[in-house]
Amino acid sequence: MTIHALNTGLVGLQRSHLNVATAASAIARQTSGTASNGASGTEIDVAKELVNQRVGKLEADASAKVVKTADETLGTLIDLFV
């Protein structure tokens, strides 16, 4: 039996983790100086990456609420049938 809400929440958590990690990596490369080698177009917009991190956190929060609600609903259904 597949619980679609639970699966959706977990996929959302994985996706948000990847987004936050990607933004953090870009910020780290920029601030350490490894992203900028003198060529134009290689600089990272740090403000944009900080916004991406915040959006990733909000996505993770929303996905965690989906997982929690799916868990509570499943618990309620199990209690009804036991």
Closest by Cα among 71, 79, 72, 78 to 10: 71
Total domains, the chain: 1
Mean pLDDT of 75-82: 84
Residue with the bigger pLDDT between 40 and 75: it is 75
Given the structure tokens 């309620």, which residue do they identify? 76
Query: What's the distance, CA 78 to chain centroid?
Result: 30
pLDDT score for 40: 46
Structural domain for 75, as ranges: 4-81
- Rounded to whole angstroms, the Cα distance separating 20 from 10 reads 15
Which pLDDT tens digit goes with each residue over 10-63? Answer: 999 999 999 999 999 999 998 886 655 544 456 789 999 999 999 999 999 999
